[in-house]
Chains A and B, each alone.
Chain A
Amino acid sequence: MAFNKKFVTGMTFAATISLLAACGGGGGDEGGSEGGSEGGSGEQSTGISIFQSKVEISEQLEAAAEAYTEETGVPVEVIGTTGDDYAQQLQIRLNNGTGPSIFSVQNTEVAERLESYLYDLNDAEFVSNIAPDMELMLDDRLVGVPYGVEGFGIVYNTEMVDPADIQDYDSFVSTLEDFNAEGINGFGLSSEAYFLIGHISNYPFSMQEDPVEFMEQLTNGEVTLTEVEEFQRFGEFMEAIRANTPTPLNTTYDTQVGDFAAGQTAMIHQGNWAAGMLEDFEVDFEYAMAPFPLEGNDKLAVGVGSNWAVNADKDQAEIDAAIEFLDWLHNSETGQRFVVEEFGFIPAMTNIEAGDLDPLSQAVLEASNSGETIPWAHNYYPANVVPNDFTPVAESFFVNEDMTGEELVENLQAAWENAAQ
């Protein structure tokens, strides 16, 4: 009996301790990476972790990380991402101390919020190779290294669509009507925030003379969107799209691109990043990218999709290791090969040659080189306005057939005001 009691007590005690230890282990992760400096000063190399927002390159980045570990022995952990909620996930990680050493910063709006976590990369060697004006600056601190140049527009199947048929509103709409009559999806959007409204809402903003100034005026209540011609036309375009295509709310990025690859969709609104998936499908037709013909627009929307940033909250050893990884990615042969071939990025670095590009990236590169582009206005939107405020508006536009394009634009304005306050 006495033995039993002691035994049970001991067991319970042990269980308790192990529980506590387990809890301590959770916190230890943070301690581990923070305490990495001691490890780093020793012979052990400091591991780094990467948490980035581009779902399309997740697997490729993991492969790059493996290659890097093989070459240098530095362990790299790639934390999986889910896309739309990246900003939330990043915030949670930064706050609870499990923040990654390298993360993505989409634009200046986000950079301002995360200012204290952004390490000044001015002194890193490789940043001198960033193409002019492509770096993400916060005052005079260089806080973001561009992923690459990206562009979006109408991705179309050249066997089904003649680019001459989508050059203005009338021809675009009649093309959609023809496809609709044949039972083919003429123009595919998808339900994710940026693919539903985020990217396509760029056009009326980007076509303003000075988009950034225009957006400031909008925030200050000096302009009303419904009075601006580009927005009126945008509303009409959206009405035509809703009337002649299946609802995008039933579609995900995968099915959107998949249906296009299967020839069930003639055009999709996507960017050059979709080419990777199209190559995976081994599509047997040619595809190309055309400008979205709002108000006769003949330029692709080209910008920097995201930027690599280094977490300033980490100890110096880990920061150095992170910078070294970025250096490797942009300077070494293997790293550059990953950026160009595997990630499919159009490099925004002067020392990286664009490789053998897919047709979509080629179109973006040509547009970028010739300067015939419109900027990405959504990089200057109020933080998170696309998933928070624009998406519900677009959803209600697509489920309510009686909501007009003008009402859509009115609601977008209200959404903007809500986000910018």
Chain B
Amino acid sequence: MACSAFSEKAPNQQCMKVGMSVANRKKIGWYLIFTVPLLLIFTLIVLVPFVIGIYYAFFQWDGIGANPMVFNGLDNFVRLMEDERFLRSTWLTVLFTVLSVITVNAAGLAFALLVTSKLKLANLARTMLFMPYLIGGLILGYIWQFVFLDVFTLIGEVTGFESIFFNWLNNEDFALFALVFVFTWQMAGYVMIVYIAGIQGIPGEVIEAARIDGASGWQRFLRITVPLLMPAFTISLFLTLSYGFKIYDVNLSLTGGGPANATELFAMNIYNEIFGYGNYGYGQAKAIVFFVIIAAITLTQVYITKKKEVEM
């Protein structure tokens, strides 16, 4: 039974099926062409090292290929429960992430509202606000190091507010806020773009209808814009949460973890453990725990905000 194109006129089930599967097969071919290269790269660069990393986490090893690896079961994981420096780093990372998720999203949303309003310089402002994101984190850190060192001290001297404007980086309590500040400056423009897309997706009629019904600007924002922006919130919160937890570049160039390890966040702690102290296995164990924590928190967040998303 030939399933030529002509048999469409007299279709029978067999032919339909084969026809469909040919179409599907063609589609799958396309899918493969586009996904296989990426899948390969992803496997090689992310999955394989990840799995190998889990394996290493059960060994005591200094990370030098020629030196012996000693299997020590779950010792690494037990040890990190008592590692004060790691626990402190955990707390700092959580604090940093919570603070920056709030500031980044607040600033990003504010910027988005600003540049979607009927501001004359909206387009210019949009570009300017997005620009910090285009500067690499390392360079950004060095620039801000200079700002905190010279500009902040200068402002403090000139205005007399020396209790606020001093070199934050040399203060164990303020250094973390400096990090939050710079991270916000970098990321706010990025989430702003996400929020702009969300705001522009909100139909004008709805807002207009609300206005006619007598809703104030604040009410319109809270009752219409925010609920309809939920998908944007989901994405932005997810991005800032995971970026915040994983931050390393700004951390390295701005404070280097100092002063006195007061800003040594997760990623840096792991790096120092592996390369500074030469505890490769133990550092991997930390990295696994780090992964589990981030995955748990971000997935919970996505689950919660997804539930809040509303359909028009």
Contacts and interface: CB of A to CB of B under 8 A. Distances in A.
Q: Do A and B come from one complex?
A: yes
B149 interface: yes
A306 B20 CA distance: 71
A12 to B, nearest CB: 5
A388 B277 contact: yes
Contact of B66 (A117, A249, A392, A393): A117
B64 A95 contact: yes
B214 interface: no
Interface in B149-175: 149, 167, 169-172
Interface string A1-34: 0000000010011011001100100000000000
Interface residues of B, number: 30
A250 B67 CA distance: 39
A399 B170 contact: yes
A392 B172 CA distance: 11
Interface string A384-406: 10011001110110111000000
Given A387-B276, A388-B272, A396 B172 contact: yes
Interface string A88-103: 1001101100000000
A88 B275 contact: yes
B259 A395 contact: yes
Contacts of B33: 9, 12-13
B65 to A, nearest CB: 5
A9 B30 CA distance: 9
A247 B67 CA distance: 41
Interface in A116-133: 116-117
A384 B37 contact: no
A395 B34 CA distance: 52
B227 interface: no
A363 B278 CA distance: 37
A240 interface: no
A23 B40 CA distance: 11
A247 B65 CA distance: 41
Given A19-B37, A19-B41, A116-B67, A250 B260 contact: no
A398 B169 CA distance: 12
B256 to A, nearest CB: 9
Interface string A354-391: 00000000000000000000000000000110011001
A91 B64 contact: yes
B260 A396 contact: yes
Contacts of B41: 19, 23
B276 A388 contact: yes
Given A250-B167, A388-B272, A393 B260 contact: yes
Contacts of A283: none
B53 interface: no
A226 B44 CA distance: 53
A399 B172 contact: yes
B36 interface: yes
B170 A95 contact: no
Contacts of B37: 15-16, 19
Contacts of A23: 41, 44
B259 A384 contact: no
A88 B149 CA distance: 28
A138 interface: no
Interface in B41-67: 41, 44, 62-67
A250 B148 CA distance: 10
Contacts of A94: 64-65
A85 B260 CA distance: 17
B134 to A, nearest CB: 24
Contacts of A393: 260
Nearest to A88: B275
Contacts of A88: 271, 275-276
B275 A87 contact: yes
B260 A395 contact: yes
30 contacts: A12-B33, A20-B40, A23-B41, A88-B271, A92-B275, A94-B64, A94-B65, A113-B67, A114-B64, A116-B67, A117-B66, A247-B170, A249-B169, A249-B170, A249-B259, A250-B170, A383-B278, A384-B276, A387-B276, A388-B272, A392-B259, A392-B261, A393-B260, A395-B258, A398-B170, A399-B171, A399-B172, A399-B259, A399-B260, A419-B277
Interface of B: 33-34, 36-37, 40-41, 44, 62-67, 149, 167, 169-172, 257-261, 271-272, 275-278
Name the 5 nearest CB pairs between A and B, nearest first.
A396-B260, A116-B66, A88-B275, A395-B259, A395-B260
Given A88-B275, A392-B259, A399-B172, 9 more contacts: A9-B33, A23-B41, A117-B66, A247-B170, A250-B167, A388-B276, A392-B260, A395-B259, A398-B259
